[in-house]
Amino acid sequence: MKFNIKNWHCYLIILALAIFISYKIFRPGFMLFLDNPTHLSMYKYYIEEIILKQHFIFGFNPSDFAGMPIGSIYSQIGFFLLTIMNLVFNIPLELSYKILVFLAYLTPSLLLYFLCSKYFDKMPSLAISLLYLIIWKDVILTIFGGMWTYYIGISFLLIFLYFLIKFYTKHSIKYVLILSVLFSLIILSHPFATFAAICLMGSFFLANFIIRRVCVKKTTVGLMVVFFLAFLTTAIYTLPLAIDLSSWLRSYAWGLGLNYFQILYRLVLPLAFAVPQNLMLNDLINPLRNQEYLLLLKNLWQFFVASFPQLIILLFSVIGVRNYIKNRKENSEKIFFLTVIGIFSITTFIISSGFWHLNSFLHNLPIISGLISHRFQIYTEIGMLIFAAYGITELWNKRTSSFIHEKRNILAIIFVLFILINFSSYYPQNKIVKTSESSEMFKEEVLPLWSWIEKNVDEKETRILYQSFWKNTDSEYDSDSIHAMSVHYTNVNFIGGWTGGTPNPTEFTLTSTKGNRLLGKTIETISDEEVVTRLKMLNVKYVVVIEPKLKNKLESSKNFKKEYSIGRFEVYSLKDYNPEWFDFKYETEYTINTFESQNIDITIKDAKKDNKVLVKLAKNPYWHAYLNNKEIEIKNNGLGLMEIEVKEAGNLRLVYDPIRKPYILLTFIGIIILVVLSTYTLICRNKPI
């Protein structure tokens, strides 16, 4: 069947749907859902403090976790793009951030259409690209939840796939260089996208070996060059992670379940089943237990509606796989493309199980110890979408006597109408696209709270600790990490504003306030004395509480005083504590000359042989201490903070220095090699390997 539709029509339709689904994020204010406040706060600090003041791409952020590296342990592409948009093009940071979120949402769909339309009919390619945009958990929830740099990496990965196929058809140096640049961009986008790209290269190599063994040598050489050049050009980012910070970073990844049965059903079920935005699995189990059959039927219908796009994808991907098996001996670029996708989908399906996390030895192995397995399910879904496009194309074009083929037009109309009628089930809930200025909670509770803190808390003297929203309050607050933005309103550094899996060691030992935790323990198990000791250790004078158990604990304590209350927030101060950033073992007279985020300078006026000082900032390999211009060791106090022996009076200076000239040199060499080879390629015009 021929479809009279042009490519630009299809791109326009995809763009229109993406705009319709996401336009609310462009309302005034910053995005609130999940990790967005965390990331925006980090980018704002990075541009204002690291780029403009330190003139480097790495630095130290004193907010949360008692301070943490910025730039060096997070995806670089977001920092680069936002810095350029904000400083070069003068686009406000909040708007720049939203533009990139939108592009991260839109671009993979456009690229899916571009790739599929090369091999399959336009209408099936358009259909699967539109279905991608309404995938709930692994697209809408993840991207609008703040993990958009990962999907920029996925966009680069799809372009990478396109040029891998080009490299298959012609082993040209030009394609090797393009692949090197793209692999570098993937590395800078996200570690999970990097691992997926390695899997994709492995799938490409294996498909090449299966289909065309005579070219294995050229393929191997080409892929090795891609690896080598990408390693060189990204050395400034990857080597600090691999060499300097690897022993310091905490592994935080997890698998799909606590046993193999749990992993299996959580792995297979999402292929055909989606949970509605407003329901949980318990909404099926509880009505059944309580014999509320009308409610059960209502909820079952909602689950079916939510799962309908996934069922379509599954149905046609199965048809696509069946047709691939029939045509697998066909010597064509399309079959090779599908072979690569098939191997890649199976590989990422296995990886998304996270089976190794059930074994303590495998869980602690380098690289895979940091893989959050469910983040790889998106690649299996992309593979299913591609096979679905193939299945629909084959079904429409081949004359068979099957029911689906004979009724294909009627079925297509039914599918489209069903999705349109129930489109509200796929449209993101308001909380997902909510901004600060559209949130009553933010305007009526959070802003007055931050205003009080700005007026009553001295930002130079102390930190403030926020109890996290995460698993401490109901969903009406809609933002687990909103307090991450507080420092830009109050100028007071904080603990407890960030959420999500982070590799910072102090989150585990001392600073987490998520899910009933407080200062490294649970609210029930931490004693009043431990609360006081650890708050002083972190130089926290004020605690902002949202959860009743902690409110009761501090209210009944003789060591705390309620200072302010608004809505569900209550602010308590620690009695009889004069904030200080340094805690000496013995009473010591000292003066603070400089106390900045990357540079600290104090003068110690009296000496004691076995004296030591606790610096109330997180220890990190890039901190260096100098006593009277001689470098001395910085130790860990056991909970992740800096402890230094000071055996003599004089000047104590701490400097955060992440600059590593060898890494910069390697990156510079990589860029030079790329430029030289690119110039050579332009002169020689597609010279083969």
pLDDT band at residue 685, thresholds of 50, 70 and 90? low
Beta bridge partners of 172: 688
- Type of residue at 466: Y
Phi, psi (rounded to 5 degrees) for 394? -65, -40
> In this structure, which long-range contacts are made by residues 302-306, counting pairs with CB atoms below 8 Å and at least 24 apart in sequence?
302/276, 302/278, 302/425, 303/273, 303/274, 303/275, 303/276, 303/279, 305/276, 305/422, 305/425, 306/136, 306/274, 306/275, 306/276, 306/277, 306/425, 306/426
Q: Give the H/E segment covering residue 614.
A: strand 612-618
Q: What pLDDT is recorded for position 226?
A: 95
pLDDT digits (tens, 9 = 90+) for 311-335: 999 999 999 999 999 988 888 899 9
Where in 213-286 does DSSP place strands (E)?
Answer: none
pLDDT digits (tens, 9 = 90+) for 432-481: 999 999 988 899 999 999 999 999 999 899 999 998 887 777 655 567 78
Beta bridge partners of 570: 545, 565
CA dihedral 330, 333, 339, 342 (to 10 degrees): -120
Q: Across 490-494, 496-500, 513-517, which has the greatest mean pLDDT?
A: 490-494
Q: Across residues 661-671, what is the average pLDDT? A: 94
Query: Bigger pLDDT: 253 or 333?
Result: 333
Phi, psi (rounded to 5 degrees) for 621? -55, -20
Average pLDDT over the chain, rounded to an integer: 88
Does pLDDT of 686 surpass 70? no
Compute CA distances 127 → 86, 316, 415, whole Å. Answer: 36, 11, 11
pLDDT digits (tens, 9 = 90+) for 178-198: 999 999 999 999 999 999 999
Q: What pLDDT is recorded for position 499?
A: 58
Q: Which residue has the tokens 């969903």?
A: 475
Q: What pLDDT is recorded for position 401?
A: 56
Does pLDDT of 46 surpass 50? yes
391 within 8 A of 320, measured Cβ to Cβ: yes
SS3 652: strand
Q: What pLDDT is recorded for position 251?
A: 63
- Which residues does 171 contact at the CB level (< 8 Å), separation at least 6? 215, 218, 219, 222, 688, 689
CA 267, 273, 278, 280 dihedral sign is negative
Q: What is the DSSP letter of 314?
A: H
591 within 8 A of 598, measured Cβ to Cβ: no
Q: Give the H/E segment covering residue 111.
A: helix 93-119
d(CA 21, CA 130): 11
pLDDT band at residue 4, thresholds of 50, 70 and 90? low
Phi, psi (rounded to 5 degrees) for 301? -65, -40
Does pLDDT of 374 surpass 60? yes
pLDDT band at residue 1, thresholds of 50, 70 and 90? very low
Give the least confident one: 206-210, 499-503, 614-618. 499-503
d(CA 306, CA 151): 23
- Which residues does 166 contact at the CB level (< 8 Å), separation at least 6? 175
d(CA 479, CA 676): 49
Q: What pLDDT is recorded for position 245?
A: 77
pLDDT digits (tens, 9 = 90+) for 545-598: 998 999 999 999 999 999 999 998 999 999 989 999 999 988 889 999 999 999
Q: Across 164-168, 257-261, 352-356, 499-503, which has the greatest mean pLDDT?
A: 164-168
415 CB burial (10 A radius; 0-12, 13-18, 19+): middle
pLDDT digits (tens, 9 = 90+) for 382-438: 999 999 999 999 888 776 556 666 677 787 888 889 988 989 888 998 889 999 999
Does pLDDT of 16 surpass 90? yes
119 within 8 A of 156, measured Cβ to Cβ: no
d(CA 411, CA 420): 14
d(CA 235, CA 665): 9
% the chain with pLDDT above 70: 94
% the chain with pLDDT above 90: 57
pLDDT digits (tens, 9 = 90+) for 587-627: 889 999 999 999 999 999 887 888 999 999 999 899 999 99
Does pLDDT of 2 surpass 80? no
SS3 296: helix
Q: Across 59-63, 118-122, 154-158, 677-681, which has the greatest mean pLDDT?
A: 154-158
pLDDT band at residue 354, thresholds of 50, 70 and 90? confident
38 within 8 A of 29, measured Cβ to Cβ: no
d(CA 249, CA 304): 42
Compute CA distances 225 → 135, 167, 184, whole Å. Answer: 36, 13, 12
Q: Would you tell me how many other CB atoms lie within 10 Å of the CB of residue 84?
A: 12
